[in-house]
Amino acid sequence: MEIPDIRLDLCTSFYRLPKAQSKDGPLLFDAMVLAQTRFVLENPDRQDDGPAQVEAGVEGVLQAYEQLLNANPKDREPWLDKLLKQREAGTLKQFVKQHTPAGCGD
């Protein structure tokens, strides 16, 4: 997505969300877009840093996911649970870098 002066590298193929695609997918997508937009606005000199944008988007998705789980604890997504564990372990940045599909964040 490109808006004058703002370029986002939206990488939806990173997420494997079979249940959420029908129910929470739009909300999680919006969380990703907003988190990446915030990153670019706060770091205009890093607007071409695709990996950092993807990481910011993942953080936004995880924050939204945690809120969704507060409302509906049964709506777990294994992939997002795995990302939460990576974040808790302090290895999310490396995990995202290793598992981002080709073409995302390049």
> Considering Cα of 58, then 101, then 10, then 15, what sign does the dihedral take?
negative
Beta bridge mates, 7: 2
- Distance between CA atoms of 94 and 8, rounded to whole angstroms? 21
**Is residue 54's pLDDT more than 80?**
yes
Provide mean pLDDT across the span 16-23: 61
**Is residue 18's pLDDT more than 70?**
no
- Distance between CA atoms of 95 and 80, rounded to whole angstroms? 12
Confidence class for position 106, pLDDT limits 50, 70, 90: low
With tokens 């944008």, the residue in question is: 53
Residue that wins the pLDDT comparison between 48 and 70: 70
**Range with the poorest average pLDDT among 32-36, 71-75, 96-100:** 96-100
